[in-house]
Structure 1
Amino acid sequence: MKAFGKILGLVLLGLLLIIVALGFALTHLFDPNDYKDEIRQIARDKAHIELTLNGDIGWSLFPWLGLELHEASVATLTTPTQPFADLQMLGLSVRVLPLLRREVQMSDVRVEGLNLRLNRDKQGHGNWEDIGKNAPVATTDTPAPVPAEPATEPKAEKPPQPIRLDIDSLTINNARIEYNDEQTGKQFSAESIQLSAGAIHDGASIPLKLTAFFGSNQPVMRVKTELNGNLRIQRALKRYQFEDMKLSGEATGEPLQGKTVTFSTQGQLLVDLAANIAEWTNLKLSANQLRALGELKVNDLDKTPQISGALSIAQFDLAKFLDSIGSPLPPMAEGSLSKVELVSRLKGTPTSMALEDLNLKLDGSTFTGRLAVDDFAKQSLRVQLKGDTFNADNYLPAKSESAKGATAARQAEVQNSEAGAMAAGGTTPLPDAPTKGAWSTDKLLPLTRLRTLDVDADLAFGQLTLSKLPIQNAALKATGIDGQLKLDTLSGGLYNGTFQANGTLDVRQDIPVLALQTRIKQVSVERILQAQGQTPPVKGQITLDSNLSGRGNSQKALIDSLNGTASFVINNGVLLNANLEQQLCTGIALLNRKTLSSTPQGKDTPFQELRGNLTLRNGVANNPDLKVRIPGLTVNGNGDVDLRVLGMDYRVGIIVEGDKRDTPDPACEVGANFQNIEVPLRCRGPLELGAKACRLDKDGLSQVAIKAAGNKLSEKLEEKLDKVNPQLKDALKGLFKR
């Protein structure tokens, strides 16, 4: 038995030596480089590709079937002279015996200097679409029809078992992929590709590292990336995992305006094609100052994928972040958008995304609700938010230097007029009409962006500050599509009154058209003016209705083209720093040809009601029916308010009962000659001066004196005529009345 075993061992050893000798002979006596033409022909016939072998072929037979290709290129049979891929070296080796069991066991696989060129021509045809196709054959003769053979039943074949993949390692060095689209002129590239993978076994964790530089020309972009993780492939289960994935890098280019974005993302990725789901758990994302956590899940991969998940963004400075990615915001109030954080659920499809159950904190304000883009292509924005407090003024662009200069010039003009007003004295000249423009020429609206806007917004605020006005329980609803925007409502409480507005904005043309309707009810007029930084000339509760329209893309253009109507009532008010009593007494004293013995006390004039109607045309409001109810006085007026320069020019008539004090000034007594006679005033100057811009109308006052003299003459004539024949008396009276 021992001898048999020894003999068997010697036989096996001899067979092994023979196999080794045959392998040595094949690899050393057989040179595959002598058969390059045959190899090219096999590639044409079997793979339908044009293979060019410029370098040597190295190989080994047993126990590894080894192969090395140098300086090789591949083209399609359609364009054999235009290779779409070439490489410097491909090296791989496969165990021979496992191949018989449909198992691929490889040692190290190395690819050096791979260049892959993908091109889509002007007709939209890609060069990769011809891979594996036969070369087109040009024929002129119509082939004879081939007699149809009787159909035979196909034999059932056993489905092939999947090939088992087993590679010790994979390395790709200095690879490059380029894509060029001649239709659009766009180019994309991936350069300096370095890929290294550990042992590749089905179901096992495969360490993976990839680095590359990506670039594009429209727009010009450059991105450096590095990808690390462990890849797990379970082909039988159609399950693929990327564990401990981390992608990091830097990006720069035209969209970033020369700035650099440093980004990093990581997490656990899973794709289960059997269940048609994909997941990204333990998601962490950073981009410059931005830090976010979350998770994503995609269902129905075989249909329309449905996206769900959650997102949490830690507090960060949004203004600085946008500046760091080349998208700086216009100058705003200091500290605006410096504290932003967000928590929300995600829900979407490949064409839409929604932030549900949103909780957004913005510079001390808190918003809850929903924010969605219903269609990425149309940028259909849908907003449903409820906030506690929000100051919209902090997020408006700051005034330009030219606008600041215009405002300063007008303020100086108003101050000069106010300094010379001296309403208490009533003897200074009438203020000049203002001439300085009151409105900015800066562009108000981004017309190009608004024309593409598709928005439906429903907002509510506990308090909304807009144009420095604190609107309580504010509600805003607006829509916009195809360049037509509609403000359905903007309403709320304002200074113990109410405020409501609605309107439309048409930006389809180069000159936008605005229409606005407003209603203010029982709102403190002085607090409105104080909020705008103005010294109020009047106090009281105002009710205002207006229906206005204008054209243009600046404050000045809109005011210059302002047309429409308005009506106003101010109840229980006071004309501040305007003592009409003194103005009137001065006028009456002049009519009486007397001098006031004292100065009336007080500097304000209370009134019960001030009302009127306005008709606006090209920025000038005509007010034909100004009426003021003051105890003991009847006031009527008419004039214009020039909104372009915020100036006024009024003629006011006041019918007085005289000094009603217990001890009236004798010079201010209203005799029978002045009963029902209007004392005329002229009011001209900046609108901010109010009644301080009013003076006695000397020309009108002379007419009053003539009328008063006529009354006095009529009284004397009446006394004389008492002794005359009644018929003659009536005739003479009629003569004097003509």
Structure 2
Amino acid sequence: MKAFGKILGLVLLGLLLIIVALGFALSHLFDPNDYKDEIRQIARDKAHIELTLNGDIGWSLFPWLGLELHDASVATLAQPTQPFADLQMLGLSVRVLPLLRKEVQMSDVRVEGLNLRLNRDKDGHGNWQDIGKPAPVAATTQTPATAETTPASKPDSVSQPLKLDIDSLTVNNARVEYNDEQNGKQFSAESIQLSTGPIHEATSTPVKLTAFLGTNQPVMRVKTEVDGKLRFDRVLKRYQFDDMKVVGEASGEPLQGKTMTFAAQGQILVDLAANIAEWSGLKISANQMRALGELKVNELDKTPQISGGLSIAQLDLAKFLDSIGHPLPNMAPGSLSKVEVVTRLSGTPNSMAFDELNLKVDDSTFTGRIAVEDFAKQALRIQLKGDTFNADRYMPAKSEQASGATAARKAEVQSSEAGALAASGDTPLPDAPTKSGWSTAKIIPVTRLKALDLQADISFGQLTLTQLPIQNAVLKAVSKDGLLTLQNLSGNLYKGNFAANGSLDVRPMLPMAALQTRITDVPVDKILQSQGQKPPVTGLLTLNSNVTGSGDSQSALIQSLNGTASFVLNDGVLLNANIEQQLCKGISVLNRKPLTSAPQGKDPPFKELKGSLVFRNGVASNPDLIVRIPGMSVKGDGDIDLRVLGMDYRIGIVIEGDTRAMPDPACQVGKNFVGIELPLRCRGPLELGAKACRLDKDGLGKVAAKMAGNKISEKLEEKLGDKVSPELKNALKGLFNR
């Protein structure tokens, strides 16, 4: 037995030496370059590709089946003269004996200068779709006999996948190019460098990839590097990328000349058997932004459904957006300097929703939901509830044009006010204002509104807007195809309330605006003070209005203002009014007595001030102004020119029987003054209010003539008594009262 074993060992050793000798002889005596044509034909017949070998073929046989291809290209049989791939060198070697067990054991695999060109033609056909397909042949008529003799294909037996065992894979200076002739889009990945550690089934493989990516629609350039550990199980269809790190820089048209540095980390799992993908331990940074979260995608075989969570650390949003080429519209300095987000995510490849949103903006907190229902249509849906929000802190400084107009008008008002306060009302009427305080700068973003698809429902516990503290504010608006509809804007203001609705249509050449407003018991002086104006009157305002306008600036909208309004002011005061001065002066004239001292002005209170307005191209006509002041009634008829914020009124004051002594004997009211209407004329800047009123001397002359007629009539009555008929008495009285 020992001799047999020794002989058997010698035989096996001899066979091994013979195999090694044959491998050496084949690899040194057999040159595969002599068989390039045969290799090309095998590639056509078996792989259905057109293989071009311009360089040498190097090879070894045993124990490694080694192969090196130089300067080779591959094309489809449908387009054999248009290679879709070429390379400078491909080097690999495979152990021979494991191949018999369907195991692939390779040493280092090296690819140099790979250039892959993928193209989709105008008909939507991709050149990669022909890879591995036989060459097209002319259709021939098959005889029934031939068809009958064709053997039926048998289903392939279930085969086990090859087991991979590769020491490493290296790809140097590779390039991939994709071109779509249907839409003109191009994509490229250049200077691709790929290196891996040992590749085995169900084993973590270190992977490192660098590349330069580019697109033409839009023009973008991205430098990126990917590092991590890849683990795969082809039987379970399960792929993992652990400890993944992605870093890079991006630039191009969307960034408006700016550069964005980005990084991402986490663990990625793709389970094709369960049709799910997960990204856990997600960390993302882009310039100043830092975010944490997790993502999960279900139904990979259908329309993928995205879910997860996201937390964005506090950042200066204004600086971040500016750093990526998307600066905010002109806002006050320091706006959006502290923004923080925590939310749940859900969506599809074409939509995204941020549910359970907790958004902190500077000193305000919002909760609710923000969603983009369609990325292509920019369909934005907002449902938010805020605690407090001061909108004024975000308003930019007025433009030079607007500031100049405001300053010019302010100077005009101050000049008129100084004249109105001088000489206790003896000065002439203030001139009608001519300076407009309205800006001609464009305030309507027409282009953005035309593209906006919006549904917004926002509420605030407290909203500060143009210095007005609004409680329980609600804003509901819808915008689509250039039509913005304000469904509701309401809230509580100084123990009163307001509500408004309207629309803004930017589809015409000039934007068209419509607004309906309802204000109830709101202090009018508070509103005027919030706008930086000195209120001429106080009181609780109730207003109903329905107005329209057109244009894209304050000035244009005011000049085109049309509509109607009605208003009531209750329990108010005419501030710094000189009505008592004017009345005293008028009565002294009628009494024909000189004033012994200048009457002191005061703030006359009123029970009610009401009227209606008709707007025509920026001018409001008010034919029925009524003011109820204790002891007298006031009626007015005039216009308010909103274009220059000026007024022109004729006022009639009727003394209703208050015969109490005035401080000056010349101002004493006798019975002859009861029912007499004293005329005033009010003209000047609207801000002056009653300070712009003067005694109407022409009208006062008519009153004096009427009173003189009344006295003559009284004397006639005394003298005639019952001596003449009543008809004659009335005729004589009428003669003197004309």
* Contact map agreement 1:365 1:387 (CA 8 A) in 2: yes
Q: Please say which of residues 667-676 and 696-705 is displaced more in the overlay.
A: 667-676
The residue number in structure 2 matching 1:39 is: 39
Identity over aligned pairs, percent: 76
1:306-358: CA deviation from partner (whole Å, max 9, x where unpaired): 22211111111000100110111122123210011011111222332221211
Counterpart Cα distance in 2 of 1:676 and 1:620:
32
The answer to whether the 8 Å contact 2:282/2:294 transfers is yes
Aligned partner of 1:222 in structure 2 is: 221
Answer yes or no: is the 8 Å Cα contact 2:580–2:601 preserved in 1: no
Q: Distance in 2 between matches of 1:728 and 1:310?
A: 100
Deviations 1:468-505 (A, max 9, x none): 21110112222222332222211111011111111222
Q: Deviations over 1:225-276 (max 9, x none)?
A: 0000000001111111100001111111111111111111100111112222
Unaligned runs of 5+ in 1: none
Kindly report which structure 2 residues correspond to 1:439-454, keeping only aligned pairs within 5 A, or say none.
439-454=438-453
Counterparts of 1:706-721 in structure 2, within 5 Å, are 706-721=705-720
1:370-418 deviation per Cα after TM superposition (whole angstroms, max 9, x unaligned): 2222232332222221111012233345432212222222112211211
Q: Deviations over 1:113-154 (max 9, x none)?
A: 111112223333322222223333457x86666653178776
Residue number in structure 1 paired with 2:167: 168
Corresponding residue for 1:614?
Answer: 613
Residues 423, 548 of structure 1: CA spacing in aligned structure 2 closer, same or farther, 3 A cutoff?
A: farther
Rate the CA distance shift 1:575–1:728 in 2: closer, same or farther, 3 A: closer
Q: Larger deviation: 401-410 or 620-629?
A: 401-410
> Which stretch of structure 1 is more off in the superposition, 105-114 or 123-132?
123-132
Q: Note closer, same or farther for the CA distance 1:736–1:697 as it changes in structure 2 (3 Å cut).
A: closer
Please state whether the residue corresponding to 2:68 is helix, strand or coil.
strand
Partner deviation per Cα, 1:416-461 (whole Å, 9 max, x = no partner): 2112211770011211111112222222222232223222222221
Kept in 2, the 8 Å contact 1:424–1:582? The answer is no
Tell me whether 479-488 or 689-698 shows the greater mean CA deviation. 479-488
Q: Which residue of 1 aligns with 2:66?
A: 66
Q: 1 CA distance for matches of 2:119 and 2:722? A: 123
* Map of 1:366 onto structure 2: 365
Structure 1 runs (4+) deviating above 6 angstroms are 150-153
Which residue does 1:90 correspond to in 2?
90
Distance 1:495 1:632, change over 3 A: same
SS of alignment partner, residue 147 of structure 2: coil
The separation in 1 between residues aligned to 2:480 and 2:652, in whole angstroms, is 52
Q: Alpha carbons of 1:424 and 1:43: their partners in 2 closer, same or farther (altered >3 Å)?
A: farther
Which amino acid in structure 2 is aligned with residue 129 of structure 1? Q
What's the TM-score, normalizing by structure 1? 0.96
Q: 1:608 Cα deviation (Å)?
A: 1.1
Amino acid of the structure 2 residue aligned with 1:732: L
Residues 176 and 188 of structure 2 are in contact (CA less than 8 Å); yes or no, is this contact kept in structure 1?
Answer: yes
Task: Tell me the distance in 1 between the aligned counterparts of 2:265 and 2:397.
Answer: 40
CA contact (8 A) 1:424 1:578 kept: no
Unmatched 5+ stretches in structure 2 = none
Alignment correspondent of 2:432: 433
Distance in 2 separating the partners of 1:629 and 1:196: 92
Q: How many residues align?
A: 737
Aligned partner of 2:507 in structure 1 is 508
SS at match of 1:590: helix
Asked whether 1:324 is paired with 2:334, we answer: no
Secondary structure in structure 2 of the residue aligned to 1:148: helix
Aligned pair 1:490/2:489, yes or no?
yes
- Separation of aligned partners in 2, 1:209 and 1:123: 37
Shift in Å, 1:658: 8.1
- Residue 577 of structure 1: CA displacement? 1.1
What is the rounded CA distance, in whole Å, between the counterparts of 1:55 and 1:719 in structure 2?
Answer: 141
Q: Which moved more, 1:263-272 or 1:447-456?
A: 447-456
Residues in 2 aligned to 1:420 and 1:198: alpha-carbon distance in whole angstroms: 92
Q: Does 1:459 align with 2:458?
A: yes
Aligned pairs for 1:478-627 (under 5 A) are 478-627=477-626
Greater CA drift, 651-660 or 468-477: 651-660
1:104 corresponds to: 104
- Matched with 1:26 is 26
Alignment of 1:717-736 (within 5 A): 717-722=716-721, 725-726=724-725, 728-736=728-736
* Structure 1 Cα separation of the partners of residues 672 and 661 of structure 2: 21
Query: TM-score, normalised to structure 2's length?
Result: 0.96
Deviation, structure 1 residue 721: 3.1
- The answer (yes or no) to whether the contact 1:658–1:669 under 8 Å persists in 2 is no
Q: How does 1:2-21 map to 2 (within 5 A)?
A: 2-21=2-21
Measured in 2, the distance between the counterparts of 1:560 and 1:689 equals 22
The one-letter amino acid of 2:69's match is L
Moved more, 388-397 or 569-578: 388-397
Structure 2 CA distance for partners of 1:601 and 1:731, relative to 1, 3 Å: closer
Q: How far, CA to CA, are the matches of 2:396 and 2:145 in structure 1?
A: 80
**Superposition deviation, residue 731 in structure 1:** 4.3
Deviation at 1:696, TM superposition (A): 1.3
Tell me how far 1:688 sits from its aligned partner.
Answer: 1.0
Alignment of structure 1 residues 591-670 onto 2, 5 Å: 591-656=590-655, 661-662=660-661, 664-670=663-669
| Alignment match, 2:399 | 400
Partners in 2 of 1:236 and 1:565 — Cα distance? 77
